[in-house]
Amino acid sequence: MKKVLLIIGDAAEVFDTLYPLYRIREDDFQVVVAGPEKRIYHLVQHDTHPDWDITIESPGYKLAADIAFRDIKPEEYAGIVISGGRAPEYLRYDADLLRAVRYFCDKGRPVASVCHGIEVLATAGVIKGRTVTTVRKCRFDAEVCGANYVDREVVVDDHLVTSRTWHDNHAFMREFMKLLKK
């Protein structure tokens, strides 16, 4: 069974995380959840409110990481999914995670990023010259690191699949699964 990494941390978004987890398993891939440490992480739920200018965040489910970033052997995996939410704001500073992301990009293996996940790709230096999408408030992160930002539900640029938010999960996972099955 081929393995796929799913990257999480505290404040990873529930739908950005659980939809890919189960969608990838549905096609008989083993999903290995990875975090800064092998422990339980607290996911969050994002929603909108007509009186707020920004999303509202509330506690969601908990999810255990199967492996710590430092223990990832990227050559053992067919692809990687970087969940959104606020977790990427601090995950992008983890050298072991960045090493793994660069490996996948260098080898042309499928790399998926939703919402704030683009912050990890930007910090890893793998989006320069690429066309990507992300949640609008992360547009700056993409463009300042040399990417061409477009506002679409999903963008596929070679082995890289990016999406805006969990609202686009249907298109996001459809395109990622196409690359995994090649």
Euclidean distance between the first and the last CA atom of the chain, given in angstroms as a whole number: 15
Q: Which residues of the chain have pLDDT under 50?
A: none
Q: Across-strand partners of 178?
A: none
**The pLDDT of residue 96:** 98
Cα 92 from Cα 173, distance rounded (Å):
22
pLDDT digit string (tens) for 97-118? 999 999 999 999 999 999 999 9
**The pLDDT of residue 55:** 76
**The pLDDT of residue 49:** 75
SS (H, E, C) 43-99: EEEEECCCCCCCCEEEEEEEEECCEEHHHCCHHHCCEEEECCECCHHHHCCCHHHHH
Domains assigned to the chain: 3-180 (3.40.50.880)
**The pLDDT of residue 4:** 98
pTM over 0.85: yes
Catalytically annotated residues: 116
